[in-house]
Amino acid sequence: MALRRIEILGPVAYREHLVQLVRACDPVSSWTQCDAESCEVRALLESGRVEPLMNDLESFLALHEDAAIQVAVLDVKAILPRLPKPEETKNDAGTRLPKRISRDELSTEIYKGAEFDAIYVVTVILSTIVAAIGLLRNSPATVIGAMVIAPLMGPNVALALATNLGDGELARRALRTSMIGLATAVTSAALIALFLPPIDPEVPGEIHARVVPHWSDVILALASGVAGALAYTTGVSSSLVGVMVAVALLPPTVVATMLAVQGNDAAVNAGLLVATNIVGVILAAVTTFRIQGIYPRTWWDKKRTKRATVWALSFLFALLAVFTALLVLRAR
């Protein structure tokens, strides 16, 4: 059973209110420490109960804007004595609580993945160089090594979360980071291609696999998107799943760019594969977040974003259908 430690610091005048909010979420344990001016309420909660508590705290803060209250959510690695495994975790309404981290934890983590800085650019350049070498040498191990350092999962999953939450700021940040990352990879691959002899994409190998599209590539993109979303929401190693996402995005981008620079028509196939994979990853991630019940906090925000999410899903699905049809036709 995953646990979280909640620490709430606020004025002593709000002590009883904060304690009641915590107890309403059925904590494993809770304790309070106060002095003359401030009070700290701490509690251990099952991870599925953190989001309801954070919702209640946000509502409380909205009604008491003058209250200097801070809330921290900390991961708990171990606890003694060990707690018995519950048969089923439900809220007061009898609904099973989600087996994932809270919306606030997820947003904080994904915001990090969508950040743009010099390290991000350098990492994209390095991964592009390694991927190009692996493709040219027909070395799957080297290509996979490039995927380990490629930071491409964060912006795409961030865009999916922004779609579900209606978070315009996160969407803009994710799009900017993703576009800069893609432009960096394209520029790096183009510079490499200038110093290469003509590439023959018909020779069986890593490059050939990216210019002969197959419907299974769509499955790979969808599986990558689902895995990427689950990696963030369930605590699976995001770095390992990031390899899977990068495999779907970076190699075809490098191949498309190098072939385009050399004037080879096969670049169209690889470019189409890139577009298909990007759409597939985002579509799968948006769907996964939605199935897991990741919505805005307030009912009016849920209503507002629900329609936008449906339109986004419809648009992404239509794009994926078109790209898939083109992949199949060009593979003949």
Look-up: residue for tokens 């298909």?
276
Q: How many domains does the chain have?
A: 2
Residues 6 or more apart whose CB falls under 8 angstroms from that of 237 comprise 231
| Same domain, residue pair 213 and 129 | yes
| Same domain, residue pair 190 and 70 | no
Written as six digits, the tokens of 205 are 């190998």
- 88 within a domain of the structure (yes/no): no
| Same domain, residue pair 196 and 48 | no
* pLDDT tens for the 332 residues of the chain, in order: 578 999 999 998 889 999 999 999 889 999 999 888 889 999 999 888 898 899 899 888 888 877 788 999 998 888 888 777 655 555 544 455 567 888 888 888 888 888 888 999 999 999 999 999 999 999 888 888 888 788 888 898 899 999 999 888 999 999 999 999 999 999 999 999 999 898 988 888 889 888 887 778 888 889 888 888 888 887 666 666 667 677 778 899 999 999 999 999 889 999 999 999 999 999 999 999 988 888 887 777 777 788 888 899 999 999 999 988 888 787 66
| Same domain, residue pair 172 and 272 | yes
The domain spanning residue 280 has which CATH number?
A: 1.20.1080
| Same domain, residue pair 7 and 112 | no
The domain spanning residue 17 has which CATH number?
A: 3.30.70.120
Contact between 241 and 302 (Cβ < 8 Å): no
Written as six digits, the tokens of 48 are 């599925």
- 94 within a domain of the structure (yes/no): no
Give the residue from 24, 58, 76 where a domain finishes.
76
| Same domain, residue pair 35 and 160 | no
Contact between 49 and 25 (Cβ < 8 Å): yes
Domain that holds residue 301: 103-331
| Same domain, residue pair 60 and 182 | no
**Closest residue by Cα to residue 309 from 169, 182, 164:** 164
| Same domain, residue pair 177 and 244 | yes
| Same domain, residue pair 107 and 65 | no
| Same domain, residue pair 160 and 222 | yes
